[in-house]
Every structure is written in structure tokens, then in C-alpha cells.
Amino acid sequence: MEQRSPRIRLVVVAIVAVLWMGAVLARLSYLQLFRYTEYLGRAQRQQQRIVEISPKRGVLYDRNLRELAMSISVDSLFAVPSEIADPQMVGRLLSGVLDTAGEEIETKMKGSRSFVWLARKLPPDQVQRIEAMNLRGIYFQKESRRFYPKRELAAHVLGYVDVDEKGLAGLEYAFDKQVRPKPGKLLILADARRRWYDRSEQAADAGASVVLTLDEKIQYIAEKELAAAVEKTHAQAGSVVVQDPNTGELLAVANWPTFNPNLPGDFPAEAHMNRAIAATYEPGSTFKIVAVAAALEEGITRPDEVIDCQMGAIYIAGHRIRDHKPFGLLTVSQVIAKSSDVGAIKLGLRLGAPKFYDYIRAFGFGQSTGIELPGETRGLLKRAASWTPASVGAISMGQEVGVTSVQLVSAFSAIANGGVLYHPRIVREMRRGTQAIAAVGAAPARVISPTTAATLRRMFEGVVLEGTGNRARLDGYSAAGKTGTAQKIDPNTGTYSATQFIASFAGFAPVNTPAITVLVTLDSPVGGYHGGDVAAPIFKRVAEQVLSYLDVPHDVAISPAQQMAALRGKPQPRPDVSDFDPVQVETAGAPSALPVFPPEPAAQPSWNAAPTVALAEGEGVPVPRLAGMTVRSVTEQCLRLGLNPVLIGTGVAIEQNPEPGANVRPGSRITVRFARSPALRAVAVGGN
């Protein structure tokens, strides 16, 4: 037994050792095979920290590949608190450079031992000052920062990003998924005591670039002229939109107030609003484009049809609506040129609510345009079934309907290009590396026939040549357009304000081969508020500069007088006309039928206006002798010969320009002065 005892003890020890090793191997196998993923994750959470690095967003270009938004490499500041012996001293030193309280920096460093951001995307001067301190535990990491080299230029279109390069507004937000790639990663390795000992970096990929339809120089022209107009008129806000009518591409979208996208937080929220797509307003007389276009397309009127404007007053559903001036007999062309609300209302009544509504929708109002920018509103358009008996009249003159600038400029472009509505576009193509992907927009739709569009172009040219838009007349180019002046709704009373207006002008040039369409709107200008007075001159300055920049050939000769006036900076003389007077509504005791008003003197262009150029003998239309005729007889005689009568006064004709017998072009103006005096009538009759 004594000899077996050592052997037995060895066997027991061996068995115990085998059992112990088996248990250890079983435990290790269990941990490695069944709990490996769990413990690996726990170890990584304890030993590693992954920090996202701002990715490099794609570039935003203008149509000529000029950079409007880019990402640049900058330094961000972080600390490894486990390496900092005196956090209080470090916080005090950095506070003077970072303009942050030392206690706040110290608190950040106490929140972690391995890694903590102290400041993101610092300017170079601050980086240099911190590097000069040579502080232990303070490091820099390269990140991408969005930079807008042109500052405020096209700020509302471009938008801006946050500190992590996420798009917050404009195209930066709309195309964030395409422009912003996956962020880079910074891997921080720490030991068991959370002391940082190594790091590795995974760079981010570059995002896709976007080529816009905007032209940097045209955008600058629009913003410069808008800013000058706001400063002069003290308007609360405004916008200028320039569009290529033949493609729908927007060449400029300018808004005021504006902001610097490099420092968006330094500007109030209202400055961030893209008014061209988000601000809905009643357009006023510019909306007459729809009623006239629809009436011509449906064949229920013609440009030379004479409409009785009833000396500037009409009753609709018990409401008396007054014109801005007491017009009598006007042709449809003159209704547009002189911006008669009564004339437009009569055309709208002929159409009827259902047909009128269909044309409004066809021109793109009351619905989104599909532009690539976020925040677009559809405007305001009630269904025809919800219209009141007075709605047709109100909408005909641009009330009771809300539009946006991009909707209205696109509608005018449809007239300019021959009747096709192109949806406005702001993105031309996207680029990934060397591959370009063209943007695909909504298909264009024909709204009116080319013949109707050509007729409208001539009618709107009359607005500029001899109507309310005379101050939009261009030097060297023909132009067409329409003025608008609309009352704003007073938020306190819910009724139309007597002091707040939206002044606008929409037009295109040249008339026969339009290259651009321009819309100008000014919100609540102080002093002059008519569209023809404050918005039309902006159109003139923008259009002349843009057409010259685009090398569009002149189609109108520049007279020596215009050249001298341009050199001297003197404005050209113009008739004292406007397109608007606050609408007065009278409901008490209003008759059900349209009343006949006594004739009143109608305001007309000055008799000294430039006469129509005469042609050689045997050419054109001979001017008839009109002396002694009544207003109606003169109108009928001129229209029968294809001439455009400009009537001054009432009674019988006593004087005319050009003189009888002169040969003029069809459509030329014949200015005729009338008088009621019996003596003058006797002289006129005797002379005949």
C-alpha cells in the first residue's frame, strides 16, 4: 500500500488536471465559438472609438462650370484628455483663441479620456496660434468644409449645410444624397485605462457634382439691379427671375433680402426664404395674360375688336369695380396696353368660369412647377366649382388668385416661344467623375397655338411702346411685357391694404426671337408703387445688360438722342400713365344691370408724342381725313383700315397726326384730338 500511494496520487492529480484542462478548453471553446461576437464588440467599444469625418461634397457649378459651392480642407481641433496633466490651464489657454469659456473647454475634456472634439473647422489664423502653443494632448484632424466663393451670389438657390456637411436648404438639401457621400472615419485605439495610443483614418469618397442652369454673370446682374432698386424704393422684399423661354432653364434667380451661405446663422430666418418659389402673391394686371390668351385662342375676340370700357366702371355680382382711369372705347390691344380692368373683366366673362379655369391650369398656375428646389408652393387657385359670382371678374384682373414668380415667368415664356409651356429648370446635369448625367424634366406642353402667341407678342409689345410699360423700353432691342400693381392683404383686417402693394413687370426680348424672359417683383415699395414706375425700369436695366452679355443681335436702331441720353444718364421721356388704382367696391344700392355712365375726358398720351414714320408715296395705308368725325366714327374708320387710333378728348375730331394723305404702315398710330366747342366744330366741319 505504501508503494501504491504515490502512483495513486499521480493518477488522481492527472485526472484532476485533465478535468481542469477540459473545463478550461470547454469554456474557451464556448467563448470562442458561441460568445465571440458579443465579447469582440464589447472589447471594441472599450478599446476603439470611431469618429465620423465630414465628407467632401460634390461641387455646384454654374452653366459655364464656374464653381459656386465647393468643399475645402480645413483643420478641426480635438483633445486626448488622458495626456493632459492640467486641463484647467489648457482650457484657459485655448479659450482666448477659440473665443469660448475656459470652463466649457475643461468640461468637454472631462467627458472622455481618449477623444473629444474641442472645435470644428477652424480658420487658418486660429490653427496657427494653437500650433504655436505646442500643447500636449491637443491635436488637429483634417476635415472638409463647404465654401461659397461668391458669398451671397445665388444663395437662395444653393442653400447651405451644417457643421457635419448635411444640406439644410436649397440645392444642398434637395441633392444631399447625391452630393454628400458617406462620411470618412477616424479610428481611435485606447488601452484598458482608456489612454489613446494609436489612430487610423478612412478617407471619404467624393460626392457627385451638379451643373446648374444659372449663369454666374447673369445672376450677378439680376442681384445687383434688384439690390439697387430695393435701396431706392425701400421695398420690403423683391425678386428678379431670368429664364430662357425656349428651354425653360432659369438663368438667374435673385431674391432680397439675401444672406451669406458661409455664415447662415448670422442672418434672420426671413432672409433665407427663396421668394421666387415660396412667396405667393396676387399678381394684379400681369395675370391678364391668361384671360386675353384664352379669349384669342377660343376665337371670342380679336386684337382690333372695340370694347366699351364704360368710362372705367363695371358692376359684377353687386360689386362696383373701378378702373384706374376712365376709359371709353378701347380695342383689345389697347385694353392690354392701357391695362384696363373693365376690358379684361369683359373678356373673362365671355370665357366663363370652367373654360377660364382650364386655361389657368394649362398655364401652370395652382400647381407645382416641378422645379428641383425645395420649398416650392403651388400658389392659390380655387376650383371653378368654388368660385363666387364675382370670381371671374376678380381673377381676370389678377385678384383672388395667388402665384409664384417661377410660375408667372414660365407663363410669359410660353407666349414668347410660340405657345409651349416649359417647366422651369435649375439643374442642367449631374457629374460623377468623368460621367455626365443630363437632368430630365417634365415634358413641355402646348398651351396656345403659334398664331395666338404671335398675336399676343404684338399686343404686349404695345404695352412697352405706348402703354403702361413705356419705361421698360430697351435701347437697341424690341421688348414686350406687362405691368402689374396689386394690393396686398392686410393681415390685421383681412381686407386689401390701401398702402401696401406688389409692383411687378414681366416681359421678354427681342419680340420676334425672344432670348430671355424677365420677371421683376417688388414687395411694398415706398412712394411710387405702380409696376410701370418701379418694376419696369429694373426690367430695362437687367434685359439690356443680359442681352448684350449673350451677344444677342440688335433688332432696333439706337437713335442719336438715345445714345446721348445714355451717355448723360438721362431717362427717356414717357407718358404719365400707370396701370393701377386701388379697386373700390361699392355694394350698397348697386343696380343689377350694367349702368351707362356719362362720358368723361379719357387720359391719353401727349399730343406731342413722336409721330408715326410715313412711307413713300404708293406704299402702306393712306391716312384718311378725320376732321369733323365723332369718336366712334374715327375708331371704326381707323380699325377698318388696320390703323391704331389714339384718341384725345371727346366730341368731334379737330386735329390729327399724321396729316391726311400720308402713307403709313398697317398698325401705325393715328393720334386724333377731339373737342366739344361748337366754334371748333364749325371750323372743323367748314374745313372738311
Q: What's the rounded Cα separation, in Å, for the pair 590 and 87? A: 84
Q: What's the rounded Cα separation, in Å, for the pair 424 and 253? A: 11
Closest CA to 338 of 359, 312, 300, 360: 312
Residue 652 CB neighbours (<10 A): 22
First to last CA, the chain: 165
Residues in contact with 652: Cβ distance below 8 Å, sequence separation at least 6, in sequence order: 628, 629, 630, 674, 675, 676, 680, 681, 684, 685
Q: Is 285 a catalytic residue?
A: yes
Q: What is the DSSP letter of 328?
A: -
Q: What's the rounded Cα separation, in Å, for the pair 479 and 287? A: 18
Q: What's the rounded Cα separation, in Å, for the pair 457 and 58? A: 42
Q: What's the rounded Cα separation, in Å, for the pair 261 and 103? A: 31
Residues in contact with 302: Cβ distance below 8 Å, sequence separation at least 6, in sequence order: 296, 332
Q: What's the rounded Cα separation, in Å, for the pair 240 and 539? A: 9
Q: Which of 112, 209, 285, 391 is catalytic?
A: 285
All 3 cell numbers of residue 269?
430666418
In 3-state terms the chain splits into helix, strand, coil percentages (rounded to 5) of: 35, 25, 40
Identity of the residue numbered 654: I
Paired strand residues for 503: 485, 522
Using alpha carbons only, give the angle 332, 334, 335 rounded to the nearest 5 degrees: 60
Closest CA to 665 of 625, 619, 626, 634: 619
Residues in contact with 640: Cβ distance below 8 Å, sequence separation at least 6, in sequence order: none
> 307: helix, coil or strand?
strand
List phi, psi (to 5°) of 8.
Answer: -65, -40
User: In 34-123, which residue ranges form alpha helices assigned H by DSSP?
Assistant: 36-47, 87-98, 102-110
CB 648 within 8 A of CB 673: yes
By DSSP bridging, strand 496-509 and strand 138-147 are: unpaired
Helices vs strands, H then E, count in the chain: 21, 26
> 575: helix, coil or strand?
coil
* Mutual angle of helices 288-297 and 405-416, in 10-degree steps: 30
Paired strand residues for 239: 255, 521
List phi, psi (to 5°) of 16.
Answer: -60, -40
Place of cell 421721356: 573
Q: What is the DSSP letter of 322?
A: E
CB 284 within 8 A of CB 249: no
CB 320 within 8 A of CB 541: no
Q: On the CB side of 660, how many CA atoms lie within 13 Å of its CA? A: 11
Place of cell 447625391: 178
Q: Could you please report the per-residue DSSP string of 184-236?
A: EEEEEEE-TT--EEEEEEEPPPBPPEEEES--HHHHHHHHHHHHHHHHHHT-S
Residues in contact with 128: Cβ distance below 8 Å, sequence separation at least 6, in sequence order: none
Residues with catalytic annotation? 285
